[in-house]
Amino acid sequence: MTELSDGAKGGFVTIFDDTYNQPDCRAYFRMMDALGYRNQHHAVVAFRAGLAELMRLRGLCSARIVDFASSYGIVSALMGHDLTLAQVFDRYRAPGFDGLDAPEVIRQDRAWFDSIRRAAPPMRFVGIDVAPNAVAYGTAAGLFDTGFVEDLQENAASPALAAELAECDMIVECGSVAQLMPDALDRLLAAAGPRKPWVMTSPIRGNEGPEAAEVLRAHGLVVERLPIPPFIHRRFESADEQARAIANARAQGHDTEGVETTGHFHAQVLLARPADELSNPADWPRPVQVAPMG
């Protein structure tokens, strides 16, 4: 959950400074809930649809997914379980979680996730983040089959991570990070096998990152925006934040009337895939639809 910092292209700040690296996920998801996050609710619907089409085209019966900038594993949770973002928020609103220590939260969460895991298709999730506690939680709770604490913006993938990337089918990320970190994206794809994975991201409008698109194309991928309306990322915390977001979105050619002017950051889904796999999203076996979340 990083966003471009004011006045410094390529600089990053987290809006979860006190919650991003806790021993369990409670503070993180409560903060997301309080700030009105909706990106994952919408984006994961598209990710699932893209994965179904990828698997159809490649004749796969199982899939390997890399959850980049994974934090506590919310994207993996929503992709791999019969679960909604609203249900996640509802769970951690419960006051019964207040008095528990982190090991007990993790124990209860693992049992919960095990009980709602999707039986098909089989999916292997790999988490990557710079926050060690977040990755440790996601792994211990069973959201990641394996997790890596690595900063790919600064360093090449470790041999163990590179081995996972060489076998992955899809890379997913919510909230702009991949679009703002082209060096990391380049290292992800350099370690991938000769048949490159599909890359699906949901950047905030205005944060599309032309440098990232160049990296994707350099690795032989065709970049497109899925033909669905922009959807809420989170609400603005101030009038100044809204003004900056509107200016950024307009600079990228977006019409912000009725979108960012409503009081929320909005996002979109970008897809990058090999040129010989350019099927029409309208014909995918699973529809890509934006549905409201209360």
The tokens of 19 are what?
Answer: 């919650």
Q: Tell me the whole-structure pTM to 2 decimals.
A: 0.92
CA distance 60 to 102: 37
CATH architecture of the domain with range 15-277:
3-Layer(aba) Sandwich (3.40)
- In this structure, are residues 132 and 161 in contact, taking their beta carbons and an 8 Å threshold? no
Determine the length of the chain: 294
pLDDT in tens, the chain (294 residues): 444 434 334 333 345 567 889 999 999 999 999 999 999 999 999 999 999 999 999 999 999 999 999 999 999 999 999 999 999 999 999 999 999 999 999 999 999 999 999 989 999 999 999 999 999 999 999 999 999 999 999 999 999 999 999 999 999 999 766 667 899 999 999 999 999 999 999 999 998 878 999 999 999 999 999 999 999 999 999 999 999 999 999 998 999 999 999 999 999 999 999 999 999 999 998 777 767 775
